[in-house]
A and B are shown apart, each in its own frame.
Chain A
Amino acid sequence: MGQTIAEKIFSTHLVDEPFGDVSVLKLDRVFCHEITTPIAINDLQKRGKDRVFDPDKIKAVIDHVSPAKDSKTAVQGKILRDWARKHQIRDFFDIGANGVCHALFPEKGYVRPGFTVIMGDSHTCTHGAFGAFAAGVGTTDLEVGILKGVCTFKKPKTIRIELTGNLPDGVYAKDVILYVIGQISVNGATNMVMEFCGSCVDQMSMEERMTLCNMAVEAGATSGICYPDMTTVEYLWPFIRDDFQSKEAALESYSKYISDDDAEYEAVKTFDISNLEPLVTYGYKPDNVKTVTEMAGTSVDQVYIGSCTNGRIEDLRVAAKILEGHVISPTVRAIVSPATPKIFNQAMEEGLMKIFMDAGFCVTNPTCGACLGMSNGILAPGEVAATTTNRNFNGRMGKGGMVHLMSPATAAASAIQGVITNSPMFIG
């Protein structure tokens, strides 16, 4: 019987199968940020086990609250910084070089097809866009990952999401993933790997695939995953050119991480996205999804463009294209946060930052920022946000606030109008 991509990765990384019901996997990457790692570091120190399994496989960043906003967050940064220095974790990104983890680490070429990746962050599933098994874990799993380089998972079941058809104009990867979550629910992929394939995914850039995989956890999935193809190889080429004689050779090697035709799935869902419309969430769950047309006219207090879902260069380009020559509504305040310094630089060179600023946006440094209501850009009770982030839970961007998730195009158009509205890119 054939294997899914996740099963293939599991079999190449298997260390142990205690009791037959779980797999202990060897880890290729353990990613760390300053919110969930310090408690793991403190605990290792308390136990007299302040060691790391391999400093080259551990990458760390201060991203959630950066620059530090108070003494507590300063301490969190300091614990991570001191620890990275002590253990010679060379790939540590501090203020000035830092960005949102799930945008920064892919950009540095740290994730490759067939890798196993964990991080103390639920949106680690983003890295599955590279054909990796990438899972968010808690602090204890992270702690053992740091110390031993292993993590346990139940044997992977996979839900295959086949996306066919061409994306209509003005409809983006964000709309696709909101649609999928709306269809299968926030519990639809719990304990499963969510495998994205089909002609629509084949045509997507790595950025778009990351947007898809980023929200897999909002359907409960352990990891999102896409098959490695030439798009993956092209993206990674600057980092792998010494490992392979040609791109074709790289592709051939990575092709072992593609599901077999006779692989077994827990479920297979096929969605034709040819007639998809721009979507937006309306409640406190990411599967509360409506079309923008249905929600049009809902007034908005704050617009946020950024995060690990949609803070990449393609996202800023789309938003800037809509904003060019316009100013935001006087009833709205708007924030843009490029997800990494590289994206920020690129956006400046392309003139995008000027467009954002001329339109009246506040520009922040690369950071998680307003996304999780513990840093900047917090909503007052009763306020409404139109945002490109991934979670609309109650209180997510500040107690008593309402969060509507949407694509960067919809967010930019809504900033101009002051109400939720379809972008001019969408011809309905």
Chain B
Amino acid sequence: MKDFKGPVLFLDRSDINTDEIIPAKYLTENEKEALKPHLLEDLILEGFDASKDITGNRVVVTRQNFGCGSSREHAPWAFEVNGYHVVIAEGFARIFRQNMYNCGMLAIDLAASDISRLFDEFAGSGAWIEVDVSAGAIEVYALGENRDRQGEVMASIPFEMSGFDRALIESGGWVEYADSHY
């Protein structure tokens, strides 16, 4: 299993599409690592600066319909090579969501109220999130000066995970799962 924790990148917008996550011109790359400098390069979001805001964070918290548009798995890969293995949102586009689990990464749906709470209580000060997959809970901590985990759990938010999604996470992805089952 991959690790599912770290400082949070808050992206306060709905309908962030795959072209914003990784523009088409980089789809000529045949190595995932080459996508690293281009994650979220074309994101339209006030106050967001891809050159500063990506490095050092590990978990994305965002709004509705994240990853809409293209089927490019380059979008999850661009997150993966930057050390992001979790996106938490109010909702995902189907293909993006499936691509995340197929790669053994988490795309967690939360209710709008939980997402709003994360933004309202933590976006300003910064946060560290750890996902406990077996317990089905998102644990939120304060962020220390060195962008490390600080103090006690400040919030624990339960989430639902289907049996199949869990199996994909545990086996490391869809290729591994399919290979042993079909």
- Among A142-150, A198-206, A327-335, A349-357, the one that faces the other chain is A142-150
Do A152 and B95 touch (CB < 8 A)?
no
| B72 surroundings in chain A (CB, below 8 A) | 35-36, 138
Q: Is B94 located at the chain interface by the 8 A CB criterion?
A: yes
Minimum distance in angstroms from A34 CB to a CB of chain B: 10
Q: Is B99 located at the chain interface by the 8 A CB criterion?
A: yes
Minimum distance in angstroms from A392 CB to a CB of chain B: 10
Do B162 and A138 touch (CB < 8 A)?
no
- Among A18-26, A252-260, A314-322, the one that faces the other chain is A18-26
Q: Mark A95-119, 1 if CB is under 8 A from B, else 0.
A: 0000000000000000000000000
Q: Which of B44, B70, B71, B95 contacts A284 (CB 8 A)?
A: B44
CA distance A143 to B94 in the complex (A): 18
Do A16 and B28 touch (CB < 8 A)?
no
| A374 surroundings in chain B (CB, below 8 A) | 24-25, 27-28
Q: Is B52 located at the chain interface by the 8 A CB criterion?
A: no
Do A73 and B93 touch (CB < 8 A)?
no
Q: Which of B25, B27, B32, B174 contacts A140 (CB 8 A)?
A: B174
| A120 surroundings in chain B (CB, below 8 A) | 71, 73
- Among B14-22, B115-123, B145-153, the one that faces the other chain is B14-22
| B174 surroundings in chain A (CB, below 8 A) | 140-141, 144, 152
- Among A186-194, A242-250, A273-281, A290-298, the one that faces the other chain is A186-194
Do A222 and B71 touch (CB < 8 A)?
no
| B25 surroundings in chain A (CB, below 8 A) | 373-374
Q: Is A414 located at the chain interface by the 8 A CB criterion?
A: no
Q: Which of A65, A122, A373, A391 contacts B23 (CB 8 A)?
A: A373
| A186 surroundings in chain B (CB, below 8 A) | 15, 65, 68
Q: Mark A394-424, 1 if CB is under 8 A from B, else 0.
A: 1110010000000000000000000000000
Q: Is B47 located at the chain interface by the 8 A CB criterion?
A: no
Do A399 and B30 touch (CB < 8 A)?
no
Q: Is B178 located at the chain interface by the 8 A CB criterion?
A: yes
Do A285 and B15 touch (CB < 8 A)?
yes
Most buried by B among A19, A36, A220: A220
- Among A37-45, A163-171, A338-346, the one that faces the other chain is A37-45
CA distance A381 to B102 in the complex (A): 36
| A393 surroundings in chain B (CB, below 8 A) | 17, 19-20, 42, 69
Do B19 and A18 touch (CB < 8 A)?
no
CA distance A314 to B91 in the complex (A): 38
Q: Mark B88-113, 1 if CB is under 8 A from A, else 0.
A: 00011111001100110000000000
CA distance A35 to B18 in the complex (A): 15
Residue of B nearest to A372 (CB): B24
Minimum distance in angstroms from A197 CB to a CB of chain B: 22
Do A121 and B64 touch (CB < 8 A)?
no
> A18-B181, A138-B98, A391-B19 given as contacts; is B30 within 8 A of A143 (CB)?
no
| A124 surroundings in chain B (CB, below 8 A) | 71
| A158 surroundings in chain B (CB, below 8 A) | none
Q: Which of A21, A72, A121, A148 contacts B178 (CB 8 A)?
A: A148
Q: Mark A356-372, 1 if CB is under 8 A from B, else 0.
A: 00000000000000001
Q: Is B154 located at the chain interface by the 8 A CB criterion?
A: no
Do A138 and B44 touch (CB < 8 A)?
no
> A137-B71, A373-B23 given as contacts; is B94 within 8 A of A220 (CB)?
yes
| B150-182 CB contacts (< 8 Å) to partner A | 162-164, 167, 173-175, 178-179, 181-182
CA distance A259 to B102 in the complex (A): 31
Q: Is A302 located at the chain interface by the 8 A CB criterion?
A: no
Do A144 and B175 touch (CB < 8 A)?
yes
Residue of B nearest to A140 (CB): B102
Do B24 and A15 touch (CB < 8 A)?
no
Do B28 and A141 touch (CB < 8 A)?
no
Q: Which of B91, B103, B181 contacts A16 (CB 8 A)?
A: B181
| B44 surroundings in chain A (CB, below 8 A) | 284, 394
Minimum distance in angstroms from A153 CB to a CB of chain B: 8
Do B28 and A72 touch (CB < 8 A)?
yes
> A140-B99, A394-B44 given as contacts; is B24 within 8 A of A38 (CB)?
no
Minimum distance in angstroms from B115 CB to a CB of chain A: 14
| A187 surroundings in chain B (CB, below 8 A) | 14-15, 64-65, 68, 91
| B46 surroundings in chain A (CB, below 8 A) | none
CA distance A190 to B14 in the complex (A): 14
CA distance A15 to B182 in the complex (A): 9
Minimum distance in angstroms from B66 CB to a CB of chain A: 10
| A257-316 CB contacts (< 8 Å) to partner B | 284-285
| B162 surroundings in chain A (CB, below 8 A) | 19, 21-22
| B173 surroundings in chain A (CB, below 8 A) | 140
Do B42 and A136 touch (CB < 8 A)?
no
22 contacts between A and B (CB under 8 A): A18-B164, A20-B163, A35-B27, A136-B71, A137-B71, A138-B99, A139-B73, A139-B99, A140-B73, A140-B102, A140-B174, A144-B174, A148-B178, A152-B98, A187-B68, A191-B94, A220-B93, A374-B24, A374-B27, A393-B20, A394-B44, A399-B42
8 closest cross-chain pairs (CB), A and B: A19-B163, A138-B73, A138-B99, A140-B102, A72-B28, A393-B19, A136-B71, A139-B73
Further pairs besides A147-B175, A187-B14: 10, Cβ < 8 Å: A18-B164, A21-B162, A39-B73, A42-B30, A64-B27, A124-B71, A137-B98, A138-B73, A374-B24, A374-B28
